[in-house]
Amino acid sequence: MASQDWFDKDFYKVLGVDKTASDAELKKTYRKLARQYHPDSNPGDAAAEARFKEISEAYSVLSDKEQRQEYDQVRAMGSGARFTAGGPGAQGGFEDVFGGMFGGGGQRVRFGQGGGGFEDILGGMFGGGGGFGQSSGGYRGFGGPSKGADSTASTTLDFATAIAGDTVKLSQGNGRPVNVRIPAGVADGQKIRLRGRGQPSPDGGEAGDLVVTVSVRKHPVFERDGLNLRVDVPVTFVEAALGATIQVPTLGGDPVKLRVAPGTPSGRVLRVKGRGVTSKNGTGDLLATVQVAVPSHLSDKQREAVEALAAALPDEDPREDLLAKARG
């Protein structure tokens, strides 16, 4: 805007405030009008866009203490005067006249520039800074009222509760209690975001989110592996050698029966379909790892029986293949 336009534009009238309006009153009025006429709130409305630019132009001048003082003095001279900014080498232009009046150097209207101006206000209102100008996402720096800040909370759950899901009562940073639904299958360290349960917006926008971090206590029997549950199941030497039907525990349910085939080695995994973790991503399995239990104390008679078994078994070295691979 050329400085001479100040004679023709009544910025106080544009904002609908008195010439004695305080900075706080200017800011409050501007925020209200900017929300009303913002292009993002009036897509395709050329009149609203023009009005928004007019409002922003007025506030950019009146919110700057030095520019407002200069503007008031220029307007006080009356609308009959005319000055030109002048081209290169021109003399007697607007800046020459008012440069002496306000301390030299000439004062230019800085539309959309400078700290404390309308950009700072719009940045807070519409979620960011940036100059005044159109971009693919609307008006750069003006994205509507700002979102409220996120709140954080944490909770610790038992292993079974995390698998099944539950509703827990938490206390936010402001001390307000809030009921939070923990979905089934939540994992240790997982964050749950509850939209709109955080801090309110400072200017009428969307509330922030509540972000809950979940810690899960370890279980004495089960261990989680993605959507699968793992459990170590001890079997006797006889069961592993001759085969057997054994009982395997499940989480929160009755044990299930599994068949151990004859000659099952320690470390073999037996799978129970559908008895793992159930979540929105699917249902896992229960993985039972066979661990052959070796008796730690033998009577003389038992020792003699084991020695007789060893003598009857083929003379094989179970580590022969391992050693060969290590050498190879």
* pLDDT value of residue 69: 86
CA–CA gap between residue 12 and residue 59 (Å, rounded): 9
Mean pLDDT of 131-137: 41
Query: Scanning the structure block, which residue is given the tokens 């800074």?
Result: 129
With the CA atoms of 286, 289, 293 and 294 taken in that order, what torsion angle do they form, in degrees rounded to the nearest 10?
180
Contacts 24+ apart (CB under 8 A), 274-279: 275/229, 275/250, 275/251, 276/227, 276/228, 276/229, 277/163, 277/184, 277/185, 277/224, 277/226, 277/227, 277/228, 277/229, 278/163, 278/184, 278/185, 278/227, 279/183, 279/184, 279/185, 279/186, 279/227
CA–CA gap between residue 229 and residue 216 (Å, rounded): 14
pTM of the model: 0.52
CA–CA gap between residue 227 and residue 286 (Å, rounded): 9
CA–CA gap between residue 203 and residue 236 (Å, rounded): 70
Residue 57 has pLDDT above 60, yes or no: yes
Residue 135 has pLDDT above 80, yes or no: no
pLDDT in tens, 270-282: 999 999 999 888 9
Residue 127 has pLDDT above 60, yes or no: no
* pLDDT value of residue 60: 84
Structure tokens of 20?
């004695």
Helices within 82-117 (DSSP H only): 94-101
Residue 172 has pLDDT above 70, yes or no: no
Residue 174 has pLDDT above 90, yes or no: no
